Amino acid sequence: MSTTIFNELAKYKVVPVIQIDDIKHAEPLAKALVENGLPVAEVTFRTDAAAEAIKIMRESQPDLLVGAGTVLTRKQADDALAAGALFAVAPGLNPNTVKHCQEIGLPMVSGVNNPSQIEQALELGMNFVKFFPAEASGGIAMVKALLAPYRDIQMMPTGGISPKNVKDYLSIERVVCCGGTWMVPGSLMKEGDWDGLGKLIREAVALVD
């Protein structure tokens, strides 16, 4: 993963993981993130709107650090890069997808939750990984256990992260940021409640500051 992108993610500490179902939400969402102090987003490729949403968010807010989430295939990686994504995230570790991202210059954060996957990541030249699904995979105790023998690994836990546990994860050495959805709920986007969403974003920023 590029040092610049890594430093940015580490600086913000929380990465909003966002599913955009309606393309009209992309621009106001990007504005809400930037104006409320959290100019970073992982837009998941779980909907057909993802690539276009990334493009709109990047164009409307050039300072927004937008990545593509749930990148499972080479084509999705190509689509993400073409849309302007600055990094890609996956729930698991697919060597073929990782190698393709490396070839096209798209920084990739693969998901791991056991020692064998971490060693596979290291073999591929990756030392920044996503721990997923965090809470279901053993949570904080598992993160500590995995980081102990792998001194070069840094993690972004995602999955079950909330205001109740995010600071506990971030207090672990080499956990540099966490992925979360609580500050970008789809319900508020559907309602067009951008003020309410902005409040949640500001609270998330203050919580991890």
Is 130 assigned a catalytic role? yes
> What pLDDT score was predicted for residue 24?
97
> What pLDDT score was predicted for residue 84?
98
> What pLDDT score was predicted for residue 62?
96
**Helix or strand (DSSP H, E) at 74:** helix 74-83
> pTM, whole model, 2 decimals?
0.96
- Domain range annotation of the chain: 3-208
CB neighbour list of residue 9: distance below 8 Å, 6 or more residues apart: 15, 40, 65, 87, 156, 176, 177
Residues of the chain with pLDDT under 50: 1
Give the architecture (CATH level 2) of 3-208. Alpha-Beta Barrel (3.20)
> What pLDDT score was predicted for residue 178?
98
Q: In what order do the strands lie in the sheet with 108-109?
A: 108-109, 88-89, 65-69, 40-44, 14-18, 178-180
> What pLDDT score was predicted for residue 2?
60
Catalytic residue among 13, 27, 42, 99: 42
Structure tokens at 13: 């500490």
> What pLDDT score was predicted for residue 7?
86
Catalytic residue among 130, 144, 199, 203: 130
CA 96 to chain CA centroid, Å, is 20
